[in-house]
Amino acid sequence: MEHDRGRRFAGGADPAAENEQLRAALSSQPVIEQAKGMVMLLRGCTAAEAFHALVVVSQRSNVKLRDVATVVVAAGSEAEPGLADEETERAVRAALGVHLPG
């Protein structure tokens, strides 16, 4: 019996690809939580409202949520670097200014 590593399993997902997606999500979680906390503090809103605000900025700036969160955290911390892509960071900062006024 031959084993096929690329074979699709029940549920249709490749376990290796699914595992990689889960790893990426787990590595993004801390910065998203930090950004959420910062938005909650600045806006006096709930965790759900802060997350929704970050999602709106992500969608309107067409930038991944983890990158939006990175910019938020970097803006609130002198020690944290922002994004390497300056154009993306400018777009996120512009969207934050419109959708998350201090």
pLDDT in tens, the chain (102 residues): 445 555 555 566 788 887 777 777 666 789 999 999 989 988 889 999 999 999 999 998 899 999 999 988 888 776 555 666 677 777 777 777 666 655
Rounded to two decimals, the pTM is: 0.65
C-alpha span between 77 and 37 (Å, rounded): 13
- Angle of CA points 38, 40, 44, to nearest 5°: 130
Q: Are 95 and 57 in contact (CB under 8 A)?
A: yes
* Domain spans in the chain, listed from the N-terminal domain onward: 35-99
